[in-house]
């Protein structure tokens, strides 16, 4: 499980977006009460070999509340999964220890060895057993203490964090804050009757975790159109649903809340003019990227591959990765065509949004027309690329079929030999003897070793062929999605 690294958000302070006296928004840090001294005391007990789990409980108990749990992520990063709410560790009492000791004492006194001793020997033996038990279970409970301390510290920290979050939430000047809640949360801020800003999060749900920011103009989403051309991968279905999408981690609160503050402060005087400026700027950047991709897709792909891109949501948008490099190396020229087709046809997913905003921004009408023309122009290239991919699959599938037959023949020959070996090993019980016999057999039967090596190479060959076929089929599927999108969206 990944925990907080260097982030101080919701560790040392809570970030709060609040409205100040002149009706502008500012982001402030609300400090969380320092519990370092408590953590130090608890960890000192953990590291002291003379201290027991009960000593640790006695130290932490005054800070614990056994009737409360906190549905907070701390100290885990937001993209973790299967994390429970923060709760107090179980009570440890002296009676518990006495009961455990009594159970151990009874287990010793019921042994045959103990019963066969005289009374003096029984006492000495029992005292020695109990002493060893105490040494092992009471004074050296390091891992139990570590686990207990971890749970206690998390609970205490969440207790203090919860107090600040509750105070912030009840402050009438608070508009949004860096919630640490497990699961779904949402904040909504109305800039005007027409403009709303919404921050929604879903933390500690693994790959399903998200951190989104949406700006709505008259219930229409402001979309980051330029992300389509600025990143290698863009999940179009998600991209048209949010204005900004962040990595699910604590530091993203800086970017999200400051974005909201800047957007609201700049747009408050004339929201319509600000929205127009945002939309036209995004569309201009998108069009510039699309035109460049149509003209020289290989050059644009190389530029995106080399670009450093931080603080992006891997679910919605992401940069070019090592796996993409391997994937594209299978069919380099076709890969560039796939990249081009996905970018150009991806813009068709914006048509509905552009149609909704054309009343405010009539400049988008020729943009919509240009996007359609671009897509119609690449349809022949998509068909040609699909044909090339299909043709490249035929010899590979034929090679795979032949290799599978050869693998079968080798496997059957080896099975005959190994059936004989298993018969020889049937009465052998120790692994040492089995290994010795197998080693001797291999030394006296080099043809068996050669067959095994030949089978290994054949399996490697099959793996490589299957990988090549899978990659080409994936290229084909991606191109077919683009083609279907063009046929559906570019209806005359």
pLDDT(307) > 80: no
**Token pair 């003096």 is at which residue?**
120
Rounded distance between C-alpha atoms, residue 408 and residue 143, angstroms: 51
- The rounded mean pLDDT for the chain is 86
Q: Can you give the residue ranges of every domain in the chain?
A: 13-169, 180-253+264-386, 391-489
For residue 492, pLDDT beyond 70: no
pLDDT tens track for 149-160: 999 999 999 999
What is the number of alpha carbons within 13 Å of residue 253 lying toward its C-beta?
26
Sign of the CA dihedral running 316, 318, 324, 328: positive
- pLDDT digits 0-9 by tens, 39-77: 999 999 888 877 777 788 888 888 888 888 999 999 999
With 80 as the cut, is the pLDDT of residue 120 above it? yes
Q: Which residues, other chains included, contact 200 with Cβ-Cβ below 8 Å and sequence gap of 6+?
A: 184, 185, 186, 187, 210, 212, 213, 214
Give tens-digit pLDDT for 89-116.
888 766 666 677 778 888 888 888 888 8
| CB-based contact 461:385 (threshold 8 Å) | no
Residue count (the chain)? 492
Which tokens sit at 465?
């062929």
Cβ–Cβ under 8 Å, residues 313 and 234: no
Contacts of 213 (CB under 8 A, 6+ apart): 197, 198, 199, 200, 242, 243, 244, 245, 246, 256, 259, 260
pLDDT digit string (tens) for 317-331?
Answer: 777 777 777 777 888
Query: What is the structure's pLDDT at 369?
Result: 95
Percent of the chain with pLDDT over 70: 93
Dist. CA 182–CA 248, nearest whole Å: 12
Residue 35 in this model has a pLDDT that exceeds 60: yes
d(CA 344, CA 339): 9
Specify which residues 3 forms β-bridges with.
Answer: 76
């Amino acid at each position: 499980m990944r925990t907080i690294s260097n982030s101080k958000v919701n560790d040392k302070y809570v970030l709060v977006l609040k409205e100040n006296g002149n009706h502008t928004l500012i982001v402030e840090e609300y400090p969380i009460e320092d519990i370092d001294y408590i953590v130090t005391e608890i960890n000192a007990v953990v590291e002291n070999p003379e201290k027991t789990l009960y000593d640790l409980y006695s130290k932490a108990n005054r800070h614990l509340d056994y009737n409360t749990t906190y549905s907070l992520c701390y100290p885990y990063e937001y993209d973790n999964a299967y994390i429970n709410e923060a709760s107090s560790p179980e009570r440890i009492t002296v009676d518990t220890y006495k009961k455990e000791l009594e159970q151990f004492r009874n287990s010793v006194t019921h042994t045959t060895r103990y019963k066969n001793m005289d009374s003096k020997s029984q006492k000495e033996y029992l005292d020695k057993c109990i002493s060893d038990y105490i040494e092992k279970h009471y004074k050296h409970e390091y891992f139990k203490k570590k686990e207990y301390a971890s749970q206690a510290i998390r609970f205490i920290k969440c207790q203090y964090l919860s107090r600040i979050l509750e105070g912030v939430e009840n402050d009438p000047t608070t508009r949004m804050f860096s919630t640490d809640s497990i699961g779904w949360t949402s904040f909504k801020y109305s800039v005007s009757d027409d403009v709303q800003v919404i921050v929604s999060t879903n933390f500690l749900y693994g790959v399903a975790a998200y951190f989104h920011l949406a700006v709505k103009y008259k219930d229409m989403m402001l979309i980051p159109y330029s992300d389509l051309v600025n990143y290698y991968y863009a999940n179009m279905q998600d991209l048209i649903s949010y204005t900004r999408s962040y990595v699910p981690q604590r530091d993203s609160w800086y970017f999200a809340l400051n974005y909201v503050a800047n957007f609201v402060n700049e747009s408050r005087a004339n929201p319509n003019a600000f929205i127009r400026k945002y939309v036209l700027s995004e569309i201009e950047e998108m069009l510039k990227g699309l035109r460049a991709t149509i003209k020289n897709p290989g050059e644009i792909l190389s530029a995106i591959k080399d670009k450093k891109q931080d603080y992006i949501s891997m679910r919605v948008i992401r940069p070019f990765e090592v796996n993409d490099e391997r994937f594209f190396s299978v069919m380099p020229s076709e890969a560039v065509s796939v990249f081009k087709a996905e970018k150009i046809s991806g813009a068709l997913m914006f048509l509905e949004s552009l149609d909704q905003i054309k009343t405010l921004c009539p400049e988008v009408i020729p943009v919509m027309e240009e996007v359609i023309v671009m897509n119609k122009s690449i349809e022949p290239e998509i068909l040609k690329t699909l044909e090339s991919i299909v043709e490249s699959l035929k010899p590979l599938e034929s090679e795979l079929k032949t290799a599978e037959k050869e693998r079968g023949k080798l496997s059957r020959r080896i099975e005959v030999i190994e059936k004989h070996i298993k018969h020889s090993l049937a009465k052998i019980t120790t692994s040492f003897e089995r290994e010795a016999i197998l080693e001797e057999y291999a030394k006296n039967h080099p043809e068996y070793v050669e067959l095994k090596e030949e089978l290994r190479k054949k399996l490697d060959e099959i793996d490589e062929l299957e990988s090549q076929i899978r990659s080409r089929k994936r290229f084909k599927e991606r191109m077919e999605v683009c083609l279907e999108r063009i046929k559906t969206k570019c209806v005359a």
